[in-house]
Structure 1
Amino acid sequence: MRKPFKSALLLPLLLAGCTSADPGLRDTVILHYQHVANVHRIDFRTPVVLRRNEAVHFVLPLESQGFWAVFVLCSVDATGPGVPAFYYDVDRFRVQFDDRHFGPLRPYTLRLEDSIDLNTRTDTAAIVDAITAEIHQGPPSQVFRHGFYPNLDYRFAIYVPQGLADYAGEELPLRYVGGHTMVSGNGTPPSDIPVAGGNGTGITSRCRP
């Protein structure tokens, strides 16, 4: 006669989720993501006109083994009892590989078309906007109130200008700068895409269930 009563007590605990069940995660926001693609060139549907009146139709990594790592934010778990809200900013994501970190695009790290010209300080903002228009989905920033937010499918790219030693195409680890966060991938390896944007190959826009 005591088993049903015990089950009734356990069920709410199982449904509560990992943040409330683990005391160490009471004030932690958990971000789930999928690494969907590595892209080696980005084309622009509308050429980017820079201050020197040069129209740029595509950009390439600084080195031949560089790429854009493209991710999809699957869900935000802000259900921890110590989490009143979470401020999301896509520019706070970083790729972390060994002791190297990659984030927002920096000047002089990107080739303009198939040339030796690199993005200058004055070029970079316009190029970032053009890449965002081709690759990104979802808002660049958002406030998530306390709760669980599934099926977000916010897509974004982080530029890796050079090849990574011993990288074999597996899921890259992400971290989020600022706040109490834990970033967790679903383990799905990315597709390798030569060209994206413009008329290039499409990129997955949804997380794998």
Structure 2
Amino acid sequence: MRKLIKYALIPGLLTAAGCSSVDTGLRNTVVLHYQHVANVHRIDFTTPVALPNRAPVEAVLPLDSHGFWAVFVLCGLDVTGANIPSFYYDVDRARVQYGDRRFGPLRPYTLRLDDTADINSRFDTRTLADAIAAEIQRGPSSQVFRHGYYPHLDYRFAIYIPSPLPDYPGDQLPLRYEGGQTLALGNGYPPADVDSAGPRGSGIAAHCLP
């Protein structure tokens, strides 16, 4: 039996109440279809990452042992609203919303470098974020989509959750997109729990389930 679809509302959209609301109310709304495919607890790098004044970094772990990377696949985009000429997609605008907390791009002083006490600083965070994307991300970081429907995109990306989520049962997390009028709809499948990703880790789904 197909799992129940869960959805997250994005700022700019009036509350959608039931399936019948996903009609004329979306004339100005871009709909993002996604799957939360995995929660990853460590990332190993295929090529060690060179940083100033230290040995190359082979892996990163959450500073808080309860942190993780929530990995998503953007299944498709619906840009068919009558009043939408195009949509600018930027992976850095994706957010996880959990209660009143919102998570997005990697921040300094939240990662542990290898099995050491060293943590990421504001000087090396961008380099580490790019290295993480190289291991996890599939698809472009940004793209302009003209008016139309785009199924089967399978663009994969990760959002770092640096601290515990109270009472989180391990199911699909709500995704949001900042900028423009958008609605993110998850397909409801629960994520896999992955100890590590990268050359020595487990595989992560790269395609959405129907």
Same fold, judged at TM 0.5 (above): yes
> Match of 2:53, SS?
coil
Task: Give 1:53 deviation, angstroms.
Answer: 3.8
Quote the residue 2:76 is aligned against. 75
Task: Give 1:39 deviation, angstroms.
Answer: 0.2
Matched ranges for 1:11-90 at <5 A: 22-90=23-91
Q: Percent identity?
A: 65
TM (norm. structure 1) is 0.89
Task: Give 1:206 deviation, angstroms.
Answer: 0.1
Which stretch shows the higher mean deviation, 157-166 or 21-30? 21-30
> Which structure would you say has the larger Rg?
1
> Match of 2:124, SS?
helix
| Greater RCO, 1 or 2 (C-alpha within 8 Å, sep 6+) | 2
Task: Give CA deviations for 1:121-159 in whole Å, capped at 9, x if unaligned.
Answer: 111111011101100000000000000000000000000
Task: Give CA deviations for 1:155-208 in whole Å, capped at 9, x if unaligned.
Answer: 000000111110010000000001010011000000000010122101000000
The residue type paired with residue 142 of structure 2 is S
Quote the residue 2:119 is aligned against. 118
Larger helix fraction of residues: 1
> Match of 1:122, SS?
coil
> Match of 1:182, SS?
strand
- Whole-angstrom CA distance in 2 between matches of 1:115 and 1:52: 15
The residue type paired with residue 25 of structure 1 is L
Quote the residue 1:207 is aligned against. 208
TM (norm. structure 2) is 0.89
Question: Which segments of structure 1 move beyond 3 Å, counting only runs of 4 or more?
Answer: none
Instruction: Tell me if the contact between 1:102 and 1:160 (Cα under 8 Å) persists in the aligned partners.
Output: yes
Instruction: Tell me if the contact between 1:28 and 1:182 (Cα under 8 Å) persists in the aligned partners.
Output: yes
Structure 2 stretches lacking a partner, 5+ long:
1-18
The residue type paired with residue 32 of structure 1 is H
Aligned residue pairs total: 192
Task: Quote the RMSD (CA, aligned, Å).
Answer: 1.5
